[in-house]
Amino acid sequence: MMTESNIASFDYLIEQFHRLPGIGSKTALRLAYHMISIPQEEALKLADAIAQARQKLHYCRICCNLTDKELCYICTDDKRNAEVICVVEDISDVMALERTGKFNGRYHVLHGVLSPMKGVLPDMLRIKELLARLQDKTVKEIILATNATVEGEATAMYLSKLIKPLGVRVTRLAYGVPVGGDLEYTDEVTLSFAIEGRREL
Ligand SMILES: [Zn+2]
């Protein structure tokens, strides 16, 4: 890439921005320039926010959702139904479903979907952790809420085959979510219908 300012610390900053998803070399240069144009304390605030998030945030021991404690706020909420687990791809899907206010169960975040083409295999997702949650027979239903993409569907089918023999009801988000659509970008009303109209797998 083009980072020939020949000023090592400036080139280093550009390079770090360029490594972020969706940031091209022009944008990386613009962001780097912005960082040295604003007051120093403003720039340090950003550095501090990144450092703090990295130090404090990790995944919930039970559901793999993001938390700054051992367990996330959903897993520790006694008012939430522990018999239903909604399985999602990413943390952003938890946020999207929570915004609907229609789901009162717990979640499980896979952190991705199966994709043999991209080298994502079952042991790279949080599937072991999900199966461990089914051991004590508390969970009666698993809602597979992976995205309506080819990979999301394949992951749902894979999980269904693993979970059904354990005697747990397995459902899938039904109508509403457009084929090829990401939950994250599905509006709240559509997502509400999808979770209420889930179908048996
Ligand atoms: Zn949790």
The structural domains of the chain, with segments of one domain joined by +, span 8-56, 78-200
pLDDT for 3-41, tens place per residue?
A: 568 899 999 999 999 999 999 999 999 999 999 999 999
Superfamily for domain range 8-56: RecR Domain 1 (1.10.8.420)
pLDDT band at residue 156 under the 50/70/90 scheme: very high
Predicted structure pTM score:
0.79
Determine the pLDDT at residue 200: 79
CA 143 to centroid of ligand 1, rounded, Å: 16
Determine the pLDDT at residue 190: 74
**Quick one: fold of 78-200?**
Dna Topoisomerase Vi A Subunit; Chain: A, domain 2 (3.40.1360)
Under a CB-based contact definition with an 8 Å cutoff, are residues 156 and 172 in contact? yes
pLDDT for 93-110, tens place per residue?
A: 999 999 999 899 999 999
pLDDT band at residue 177 under the 50/70/90 scheme: low
Query: How distant is the alpha carbon of residue 133 from its chain centre?
Result: 19
Residues flanking ion ligand 1, Cβ below 5 Å = 60, 62-63, 65, 72, 75
CA 13 to centroid of ligand 1, rounded, Å: 35
pLDDT band at residue 2 under the 50/70/90 scheme: low
Residue 193 has pLDDT above 80, yes or no: no
CA 17 to centroid of ligand 1, rounded, Å: 31
Determine the pLDDT at residue 5: 81
Distance of alpha carbon 131 from alpha carbon 125, whole angstroms: 12
Can you give the chain as a three-state secondary structure string? CCCCCCCHHHHHHHHHHHCCCCCCHHHHHHHHHHHHHCCHHHHHHHHHHHHHHHHHCEECCCCCCEECCCCCCCCCCCCCCCCEEEEECCHHHHHHHHHHCCCCCEEEECCCCCEHHHCECHHHCCHHHHHHCCCCCCCCEEEECCCCCHHHHHHHHHHHHHHHHHCCEEEECCCCCCCCCCHHHCCHHHHHHHHHCCEEC
CA 7 to centroid of ligand 1, rounded, Å: 45
- Between helices 8-18 and 25-37, what is the axis angle to 10°? 130
Determine the pLDDT at residue 43: 96
CA 151 to centroid of ligand 1, rounded, Å: 24
pLDDT for 47-105, tens place per residue?
A: 999 999 999 999 999 999 999 999 999 999 999 999 999 999 999 999 999 999 989 99
CA 20 to centroid of ligand 1, rounded, Å: 27
Average pLDDT over residues 141-162: 93
CA 87 to centroid of ligand 1, rounded, Å: 12
